[in-house]
Every structure is written in C-alpha cells, then in structure tokens.
Amino acid sequence: QDFPSTWQPARRIITFMGLVSLICTLLVVVIIIIAVALSKTAHPRSTTLKPSELVYLVPQPRKFINRTPTIVVHRQNPRIWQKHVEDLSTLVKAYRERQGAIATSNCDLHYAPIGVSSCSFPLDRISENCSAQNNFGYDTGNPCVGLVFNAFAGWNPIPYNKSNPDDVPVEIRNGYDLQQIVPITCNTSVVVASGSSENASVFHVHYSPFSGFPYRYLPLRGMMGSTLPPLVMIQFIGGQSMADVEVNCFLWAKNLPRNATNDPGAIRFSFFIV
Ligand SMILES: *[C@@H]1O[C@H](CO)[C@@H](O)[C@H](O)[C@H]1NC(C)=O
Ligand SMILES: *[C@@H]1O[C@H](CO)[C@@H](O)[C@H](O)[C@H]1NC(C)=O
Ligand SMILES: *[C@@H]1O[C@H](CO)[C@@H](O)[C@H](O)[C@H]1NC(C)=O
Ligand SMILES: *[C@@H]1O[C@H](CO)[C@@H](O)[C@H](O)[C@H]1NC(C)=O
Ligand SMILES: *[C@@H]1O[C@H](CO)[C@@H](O)[C@H](O)[C@H]1NC(C)=O
C-alpha cells in the first residue's frame, strides 16, 4: 500500500534489462561506425601495404611479367591516371584529417616548441605541383609519387657520423643535414624515350617538403602514435612525349648497408609515360 501501483520489481528489472541491451546495441553500432570511418580515412590502401617494407610507395605500381613494377602514366587517358591521382589525394587527405585530430603544434626541422608532444607534419610545404589541383603531374607526364615511412616495420634509423667523412657514403656527402634527416635519393635511368625535350634522357627529381625523412617526425623517437609518419612527395620532371624510365630510390642510414642482392633500403619501380 505504501508504494505506487506501478512499482513492481519484476517490471523494473525488465525495463532495466531493456535499457541495458539498448545501450549495448547503440555502443556496438557506434564502435562499428568509428571503425569504418577510421579504416576509410586513416589507412588508405591498407590492403596493398606490406608491413615488412620500410617505405610505402603511393600509388602502387602494377606488376607485369618480366618488368619492374610499373606506374603507367597515360596523359591522354584520364581514366588511367585519375586512379593514381585518387590514391595520392586519399593519402594527403588522410594526413590532413588525422593531423587535425592529433597534432598540437607546428615544428620545423630543427626546432619544436617546448612542451609540445606532437608536431604537425608540414603538408603545406609539399610542392604545389604535387597536389590534386595539378593532378599530381599525371596529366602532363611529370608524375609525383609519395613515399611514406613505415612506422610498423619497427626499424630505427641510425644517423651517419658526419664528423667522420669515411662513415658517410659518397652519394649523400653533400647537401644533407645528416643529423636531422634520413636522406632519400632517387635516380632515373631512361630506357626508351622520344619527344619534345632538348635532352630526352634526363629527368629532374624534386623532393618536398624535405629530401628525406626528418628524424624529428619519426614516430619511434619518443611518442609512438602521437605523430604521423613522415612523407616525401617526389616529382619526376621530364620533357619527353614518351618514355620508359627505371627509378631507383634509396633510403640512407648507417644501419642500412647497401646490398645488391637484398637491399631493404631500395625502392625500385618504373614509369611508362605515354
Ligand atoms: C612544376 O612542374 C613543372 C613542369 O610541369 C616544372 O617546370 C616546375 O619546375 C615544377 N616546379 C617545381 C617547384 O618543382
Ligand atoms: C665520429 O667520428 C669522429 C671522428 O672520427 C670520432 O672522433 C667520434 O668518436 C665519432 N662519433 C661517434 C658517435 O661514433
Ligand atoms: C645515380 O646515378 C649516378 C650516375 O649514374 C651515380 O653517380 C650516382 O651514384 C647514383 N646515385 C644513387 C643514389 O644511386
Ligand atoms: C644531355 O645532357 C647531358 C648532360 O646533362 C649532355 O652531356 C648531353 O650531350 C645531352 N644530350 C643531348 C642530346 O642534348
Ligand atoms: C646481402 O643479402 C644477402 C641475402 O639476404 C645476405 O646473404 C648477405 O649477407 C647480405 N650482405 C650484406 C653485406 O649485408
């Protein structure tokens, strides 16, 4: 008699159970939505990346029989190059979005503001040529590729001792601040070329924002997961109307000796530009 008639333990329990299962269902739905959103934005092309490699190459070259994996640059056929542009746009977009969520401050190559736990990667210093507006150069036959440091390889680069010249390979003796940067060099070798250029066997290689991976942005120094792995956009500028070009890029660090048969610091691919 003291209690209102609606107060019935059984009924309350049932209501409670209903509420709990409703909350659980909602939680599961939210988790699924977040997971889908993350897999779409944070890890573009995660299905094609091989975790054993030190560097990811975007776009992924196609495999052909008896040929170096090849990025086909077909100027006249937007259906072919738009796929590459899409891959690179997705990569840059993922950086922008993730950056907004985790980074706290702008840092430069030598300097991070005191108390900063994560540096935002200087995406705005990537060459204007390597942007979606300019189709990453694919419509003009001056293609850009992105190299992304693989933070999951568990590899920790060790700088060369720059006060000991014998320690530093001749290819990177000039023009690199070896305490600040893990250099990346790319060499082109033109197999076949024809066309407009005054010198058809030469490609100019342009790196941005840095010609390598700055140690400052490597996620393994200190705060794993709080920074985005460094990224290099590399543009290959040539004047050819048609070219078959082999590209050899190398990552340089003291604990990455060059090895002709099995070189984990090498990234080899080719462009077929028509
Ligand atoms: C941009 O690309 C053009 C060729 O399309 C080239 O002449 C120019 O030097 C490039 N600019 C930079 C900053 O690499
Ligand atoms: C770097 O090389 C200099 C000159 O050979 C040597 O004195 C110094 O100990 C080396 N430093 C390291 C960290 O190996
Ligand atoms: C690039 O090629 C030139 C000439 O073929 C060579 O001297 C240089 O060492 C090469 N650089 C790399 C990093 O392989
Ligand atoms: C191409 O350039 C190289 C040096 O950069 C020069 O030795 C060569 O003669 C040039 N070839 C032509 C066809 O202009
Ligand atoms: C180069 O790689 C091969 C195959 O993995 C290995 O047997 C060899 O010891 C390596 N050489 C050097 C100098 O690291």
- pLDDT single digits (tens) 135-188: 999 999 999 999 999 877 778 899 999 888 888 999 999 888 888 899 999 999
Ligand 1 close to Cβ of residue 129 (< 6 A): yes
**Dist CA 21 CA 24 (whole Å):** 5
Q: What is the pLDDT of residues 184-206, one digit of tens each?
A: 999 999 888 776 656 667 899 99
The answer, yes or no, to whether residue 235 has pLDDT greater than 70, is: yes
Are the C-beta atoms of residues 273 and 71 closer than 8 Å to each other? no
When pLDDT is cut at 50, 70 and 90, the band that residue 263 belongs to is confident
Residue 251, CB-side half-sphere exposure with 13 Å CA sphere? 28
Query: What pLDDT sits at residue 271?
Result: 95
Task: Give the closest residue (by CA) to ligand 4 atom 1.
Answer: 199
* pLDDT tens-digit map of 79-102: 989 999 999 999 999 888 887 776
Q: pTM of the entire structure?
A: 0.76
Tally helices (H) and strands (E) across the chain.
2, 11
Pocket of ligand 2 (CB under 6 A): 161, 163-164
- Helix boundaries (H) for 42-176: 78-102
Instruction: Report the alpha-carbon distance of residue 226 to residue 59 in Å, rounded.
Output: 25
The residue whose two tokens read 């992924």 is 60
The residue whose CA is least distant from atom 10 of ligand 5 is 259
Q: pLDDT class for 228, splitting at 50, 70, 90?
A: confident
Pocket test for ligand 1, best of 133, 136, 235, 241 (most atoms within 8 A of CB): 235
Given a contact cutoff of 8 angstroms between Cβ atoms, the answer to whether 178 and 172 are in contact is yes
Residue of 173, 185, 187, 191 to test ligand 3 pocket, by largest number of atoms within 8 Å of CB:
187
Model confidence at 46: pLDDT above 70: no
Quick check: CB of 262 below 6 Å from ligand 5?
yes
For ligand 3, what atom is nearest to the CA of residue 248? Answer: 14
CB 8 near ligand 4, within 6 Å: no
Sequence length of the chain is: 274
Any residues with CB less than 8 A from the CB of 69 and at least 6 apart, and which?
60, 61, 62, 63, 268, 269, 270
